Amino acid sequence: MAIADVKIVEGKYYKKCLSCSEYFLTKKSHLQRRKTCSKRCDSRRKRTMYQGGGNPNFGNRGEINPIYKGGTVSSYGYKLIKKPEHPNAGVDGYIFEHRYVMSEHIGRPLREDEVVHHKDENRLNNEINNLEIMSRSEHTKLHMKDYGIVRCSLGRIKTIKRTRPIPRDEAYEIEDDVKQTERGAGGFGSTGV
């Protein structure tokens, strides 16, 4: 903070706003902390300060990012990997990992009508022994076996309901290794008082 950015008039401190260059009244204890005269000026200052190279995370994408764990997960729960040169990749260069693994296994790109099925229904388990290639109609028939049609008294379709429970794998089960006595009488962290 330069001394020229602060004015003292009749014992009151005025500091120059970094956004609009107007002087604003502030406390002596806030001279280091306050940068702008208002929230509007502060948001304008941050917008310009964090653009491009001024942003500490600028260019910190993908493998360069220290918290990158490899790939990304789609909103449908499938793992995506960046393979822009692959024929099945989208316009953004990403491909579903299970489709990439299967196409590498069979040695050719997958056709549009081919679906890769996860045998254990775990969308993140993309090992080749868990994947199976089938047509879209076969895949739909396979999954519709788990559902039944619920009809109203007039015979109209009311809803579709799952008849078979979702299979639980050992990887999904949460083991409770904390005994009830260790928890206390009233639950976690309770002293029972």
Contact in structure between 135 and 115 (CB atoms under 8 Å): yes
Break the chain into its structural domains and give their ranges. 3-51, 66-146
Q: Which long-range contacts (CB under 8 A, 24 or more apart) does 19-22 make?
A: 19/44, 19/45
- Single out the residue of 113, 121, 105 nearest to residue 172, CA to CA: 121
The reported pLDDT for the residue numbered 46 is 87
In the predicted model, residues of the chain with pLDDT beneath 50 are: 170-175, 193
Q: How far apart are the first and last CA of the chain?
A: 54
The reported pLDDT for the residue numbered 174 is 46
* Cα separation, 148 vs 76, whole angstroms: 23
The reported pLDDT for the residue numbered 54 is 76
Two structure tokens written together for 166: 């979702």
pTM (2 d.p.): 0.51
Architecture of the domain defined by 66-146: Alpha-Beta Complex (3.90)
The reported pLDDT for the residue numbered 180 is 52
Two structure tokens written together for 123: 């969308």
